[in-house]
Amino acid sequence: MSTTDTEPDWTAEWQPVIDAIGRDFADGEVIWGGDPVEPGAIRRYLEPLELDCALHTDPEAARAAGFEDVTMPYTGVIAWTIPTAWKPGEVLFDSDDRDAQPVHTAINNADMPLGPRTTGFFGTDIEVDFHREVVAGERIGRRGRRLLSCTPKQTGVGRGAFMTWESEIVSDRGDVVGLIRIGTYAYVPHEKGDEGE
C-alpha cells in the first residue's frame, strides 16, 4: 500500500465549491469602479500604446460616428470596473515586510465563503463580450459574481482549484455594457522542498 492510499483526498474540501456552481456570490450587487471614465484617463491609457484612433481622442470625430463623446478602447474598460483599493483614513498595507500583501483587494479570493482557505491566488484568463462602447463621463462596474466552474488541481505552485467567474459590466446609465468571464487559480502554496510532490 502506498502513502497516497492512506492520505485523505484533498480535493474533497472543494466539493462545496463544486456544488455551488451557478451561484451568484455577489447576489446581483453592483461593485462600481473607483472613478468615472474621463478624457484625461483615456489619453493616459493611449499614450504608452500609441493607440491612434480619433474615436478615443477627438470628441467631434466620436460624435460624427454616433457617440456622445470620446470612447474608451475596449482593452481599457476592465480597469474602470475595479473599485478603489485605498481611501483616505484607511490602511491598505499593515506590514512593511518585503512581500507584504494588501489588507484587502478586489482581485483576490479572500472573501470566498466556501471551500478550503487559500493564500495564493492569480488570474489565468479573461474573456469579455461587449454590447457597446463605453464613453467619457460614464461610471461602470460589475454586477454579480457567478461561479461557472471549479476544477481542483495540484500544480507546480500548490494545491487548489481553477475557477471561472462571470459578471455583467454595467453603466450608471442603467444598461449592460458587456459580459466578463475571469479564470482564477486559488491555492495553498507548496512548502519549500515539496514542489515536485
pLDDT of residue 175: 96
pLDDT digits (tens, 9 = 90+) for 85-96: 888 988 888 888
pLDDT of residue 3: 47
| Residue 177: how many other CB atoms lie within 10 Å | 22
Task: Return the sign of the alpha-carbon dihedral for residues 77, 81, 85, 86.
Answer: positive
Where does the chain show beta strands of DSSP type E? 30-32, 71-72, 120-130, 134-135, 140-154, 158-171, 176-189
Q: Please say whether the beta carbons of 169 and 176 come within 8 A.
A: yes
pLDDT of residue 101: 74
Surface-to-core class of residue 113, CB atoms within 10 Å of its CB (0-12 exposed, 13-18 middle, 19+ buried): exposed
pTM, full prediction: 0.82
Which set of grid coordinates corresponds to residue 84? Answer: 478603489
Domains and CATH numbers, the chain: 3-33+84-189 (3.10.129)
Q: Which amino acid is at 197?
A: E
Q: Residue 81 contacts by C-beta under 8 Å, 6 or more apart in sequence?
A: 31, 33, 140, 141, 142, 169, 180
pLDDT of residue 2: 47
pLDDT of residue 119: 84
pLDDT of residue 129: 97
Mean pLDDT computed over 176-185: 96
Residue tagged 472543494 (cell numbers):
14
pLDDT band at 1 (very low <50, low <70, confident <90, very high): very low
Task: Report the alpha-carbon angle 145-146-151, nearest 5.
Answer: 115
Higher-pLDDT residue of 82, 5? 82
Is it the case that residue 6 has pLDDT exceeding 70? no
Q: What does DSSP assign to residue 84?
A: P
Mean pLDDT of the chain: 89
pLDDT band at 51 (very low <50, low <70, confident <90, very high): very high
pLDDT digits (tens, 9 = 90+) for 128-166: 999 999 999 999 999 999 999 999 999 999 999 999 999
